[in-house]
Amino acid sequence: MRAVATEAFKAYYGMQPLDFPEGHEFSGDVAVYMLQTGAPVEPADDEARALLSAAEAQPPAPEEQDVPPIDGTINEVLAWVGDDQERAVQARDEESARDKPRSTLLAQLDEIIAD
């Protein structure tokens, strides 16, 4: 597997600093690592292109939940909401639908919605 640097850059690989001048071609594990981490490189052979295509075909794992953690603590719900009014409305709706909604959480969500 081979890759070519599209611009000059520095990177760490194996806890060692490496300099890559523009146009430098490199191969093996370093090429795989640079292709997978989004370094300014282009694939230089079919194997590298296949690796890059496979990585692009896989959707990234969601970093955050799309639904509020209503069964969690008040702090967890508020951390999920942050200062996002839309999330606050969503969390408030979910909390209000519970058998025993937490009045403290509802009040804090109302403050976020009102801002």
3-class DSSP assignment, residue 83: coil
pLDDT of residue 15: 82
Query: Rounded mean pLDDT of 23-28?
Result: 93
pLDDT at residue number 48: 85
Orientation angle between helical segments 103-114 and 85-96, nearest 10 degrees: 150
Structure tokens at 30: 């370093």
- The mean pLDDT value for 67-76 works out to 86
AA letter at 19: D
Rounded to an integer, the average pLDDT of 18-23 is 94
pLDDT > 70: percent of the chain? 90
- Average pLDDT score over residue span 91-113: 94
The helix/strand/coil state of 49 is helix
In this prediction the pTM is 0.47
**92 with 74: CB under 8 angstroms?**
no
Q: Can you give the pLDDT at residue 54?
A: 76
pLDDT greater than 90 at residue 7: yes
Average pLDDT, integer, range 25-53: 89
Half-sphere exposure of 90 (CA within 13 A, CB side): 16
**Banded pLDDT at 58 (limits 50, 70, 90):** low
> Average model confidence (pLDDT) for the chain?
87
Q: What's the confidence (pLDDT) of residue 61?
A: 56
